[in-house]
């Protein structure tokens, strides 16, 4: 046997070389299609370059093998020996390139991941930017419409607040930390006695009492609010207003007080009505007690007076005992007068009511007392309504009313002055009105609520019993009328305040006399 045949080996080598070239180009083709499908995919790019290097290496190695077989089988070994180093060098270079591609894959992959992360962030940012741009575009498209709608809502809200602010009957105000009023509604201006805000308009100046002001400021600073705070305001015309105030402190971002806002309700009328109701209840109780006391002591006083007058017949005038009996008689008569006043106050005395004219009653009283008033340098000024309707009343009791009022006015003007007496008819309330006003010293605020109380007087001992105004009050009330006192006196037209006291009387008219007044 000469040796083993090399034909299978040669065939296998040729087939293997061809398959290697074919498979490497198939892989290169597949990698190329992947790269075309996803050009930014790093892995597909790596596979493309790797298969390209492998295809080149397969071509170089396969061609070298085929060329070697051809040259060796054809007896040209010398030529192969010359080409063999070059073929091996090319194969080595290609193999090195494949190794290089494989070696730098990890670093490339890390760089690719970093780039991909940044790309994803950039893509997300771009998406958000596109979304924001869409919102801005939409907002820009509907901005004018949105502004108009918001403006309408604000205008509607402002109108509601302004309507409440302007038309509220309570005082609504805004002021700074120092109390300077920055805004106030018309009702508040009216309550404080102004038609328009003055240059120096500070809320704290209207507090009548300093202790009330201190409690108000302390509550605002410590609690941040005051609720149902009772106080008295002294308006620009000098009148006192009883107020019920609620206010809130206005704070800045740091929680510091910069001002306040509040609402104050005028409780003066309610306070006066309450005082009148209390006074009426008290007067009714005192009247019942006075009636009982008067009846009990009237009989003993009559007996004392009768016996003293009988005993005076037994002694001569000028005798000491006679003079003592005169003192007893005089003081007993004074006691009986007090009893009579008590009976008048309690309405227990008889009353004969008929139609009467207030102007006539006042003239009859002045005919008796005006001379004495002039002696005391007091001038009476009349302002009577000519078409005054008649009222139903007791002539004697109505005379007593005006006598008591004139006596009070005279005592208030020891150095002289003027008494203004006016009458009129209020068609709206269907009342006859009468006012007796003096220019005297006036009545202090702290005793105004007591002047109609029985036995209350500011006169010295012996000059008054304190029943004059009580009796007057009882008579007017018995006639279905009302009596109010005003001191000091405020001119409703000019708003000026003058010293003195005015008593305002109201008496209901009869239907018949009212009809006659309307015809006139």
d(CA 403, CA 364): 10
The pLDDT of residue 443 is 81
Identify the DSSP state of 427: T
Helix axes 358-375, 395-411, angle to 10 degrees: 30
The residues with which 361 forms a beta bridge, in sequence order, are none
d(CA 290, CA 283): 10
Q: Are strands 417-426 and 378-383 parallel, antiparallel or unpaired?
A: parallel
Query: pLDDT tens digits, residue range 180-234?
Result: 888 888 888 888 888 888 888 888 888 988 888 899 988 888 888 888 888 888 8
Distances (CA, A) of 73 to 18, 63, 68, 232, 458: 18, 15, 8, 135, 160
The pLDDT of residue 512 is 52
The pLDDT of residue 294 is 66
d(CA 511, CA 517): 10
Pair of tokens at residue 169? 């009957």
The residues with which 394 forms a beta bridge, in sequence order, are 353
512: exposed, middle or buried (C-beta count within 10 Å: 0-12, 13-18, 19+)? Answer: exposed
170 with 246: CB under 8 angstroms? no
Long-range contacts of 199-203 (CB under 8 A, 24+ apart): 202/175, 202/178, 203/173, 203/175, 203/179
| Residue showing tokens 């008219």 | 509
Question: Does domain 350-519 fall into CATH 3.30.565.10?
Answer: yes
Identify the DSSP state of 390: P
| Residue showing tokens 């017949």 | 313
d(CA 135, CA 131): 6
Distances (CA, A) of 400 to 175, 190, 509: 53, 39, 20
Distances (CA, A) of 5 to 9, 69, 72, 160, 511: 8, 15, 15, 115, 160
d(CA 337, CA 344): 10
d(CA 439, CA 266): 29
Distances (CA, A) of 313 to 175, 245, 304, 322, 324: 82, 72, 15, 9, 13
312 with 322: CB under 8 angstroms? yes
Sheet with 181-184, edge to edge strand ranges = 181-184, 171-176, 257-266, 240-251, 225-234
Query: In this structure, what are the phi and psi dihedrals at residue 182, rounded to the nearest 5 degrees?
Result: -95, -30
Question: Domain residue spans in the chain?
Answer: 7-103, 168-266, 269-349, 350-519
d(CA 389, CA 359): 10
d(CA 410, CA 49): 130
Question: Does domain 168-266 fall into CATH 3.30.450.20?
Answer: yes
Q: What is the mean pLDDT of the chain?
A: 78
d(CA 29, CA 35): 10
Low-confidence ranges of the chain (pLDDT < 50): 1, 348, 461-462, 513-520
Reference 181, options 72, 259, 64; nearest CA is 259
Pair of tokens at residue 468? 């004059």
First to last CA, the chain: 173
């Amino acid at each position: 046997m000469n040796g083993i045949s090399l034909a299978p080996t040669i065939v296998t080598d040729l087939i293997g070389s061809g398959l290697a070239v074919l498979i490497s180009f198939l892989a290169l083709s597949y990698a190329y299609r992947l790269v075309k499908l996803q050009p930014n995919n790093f892995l597909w790019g790596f596979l493309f370059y790797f298969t390209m290097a492998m295809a080149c290496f397969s071509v170089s190695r396969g061609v070298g093998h085929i060329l070697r077989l051809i040259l060796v089988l054809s007896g040209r070994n010398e030529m192969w020996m010359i080409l063999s180093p070059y073929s091996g060098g090319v194969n080595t270079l290609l193999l090195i390139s494949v190794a290089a591609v494989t070696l730098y894959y990890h670093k490339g992959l890390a760089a690719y991941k970093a780039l991909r992360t940044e790309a994803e962030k950039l893509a997300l940012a771009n998406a958000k930017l596109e979304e924001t741009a869409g919102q801005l575009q939409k907002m820009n498209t509907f901005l004018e419409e949105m502004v108009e709608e918001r403006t309408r809502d604000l205008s509607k809200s402002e109108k509601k607040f302004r309507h409440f602010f302007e038309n509220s009957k309570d005082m609504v105000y805004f002021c700074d930390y120092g109390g300077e009023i920055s805004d106030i509604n018309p009702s508040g201006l009216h309550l404080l006695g102004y038609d328009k805000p003055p240059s120096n308009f500070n809320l704290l100046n209207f507090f009548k009492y300093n202790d009330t002001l201190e409690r108000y400021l302390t509550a605002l600073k410590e609690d941040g609010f005051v609720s149902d705070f009772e106080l008295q305001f002294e308006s620009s015309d000098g009148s006192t207003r009883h107020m019920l105030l609620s206010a809130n402190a206005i704070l800045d971002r740091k929680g510091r007080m910069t001002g306040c806002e509040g609402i104050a309700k005028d409780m003066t009328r309610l306070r006066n009505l309450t005082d009148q109701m209390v006074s009426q209840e008290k007067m009714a109780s005192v009247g019942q007690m006075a009636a009982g006391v008067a009846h009990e002591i009237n009989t003993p006083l009559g007996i004392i007076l009768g016996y003293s007058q009988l005993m005076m017949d037994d002694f001569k005038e000028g005798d000491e005992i006679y003079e003592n009996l005169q003192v007893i008689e005089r003081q007993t008569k004074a006691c009986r007068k007090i009893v009579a006043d008590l009976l008048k106050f309690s309405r227990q005395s008889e009353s004969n009511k008929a139609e009467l004219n207030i102007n006539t009653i006042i003239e009859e009283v002045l005919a008796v007392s005006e001379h004495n008033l002039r002696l005391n340098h007091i001038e009476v000024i009349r302002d009577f309504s000519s078409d005054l309707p008649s009222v139903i009343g007791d002539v004697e009791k109505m005379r007593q009313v005006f006598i008591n009022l004139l006596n009070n006015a005279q005592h208030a003007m020891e150095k002289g002055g003027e008494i203004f007496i006016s009458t009129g008819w209020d068609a709206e309330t269907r009342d006859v009105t009468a006012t007796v006003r003096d220019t005297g010293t006036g009545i202090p605020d702290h005793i105004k609520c007591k002047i109609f109380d029985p036995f209350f007087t500011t006169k010295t001992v012996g000059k008054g019993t304190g029943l004059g105004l009580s009796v007057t009050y009882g008579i007017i009330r018995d006639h279905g009328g009302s009596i109010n006192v005003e001191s000091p006196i405020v001119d409703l037209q000019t708003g000026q305040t003058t010293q003195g006291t005015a008593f305002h009387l109201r008496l209901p008219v009869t239907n018949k006399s009212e009809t006659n007044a309307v015809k006139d």
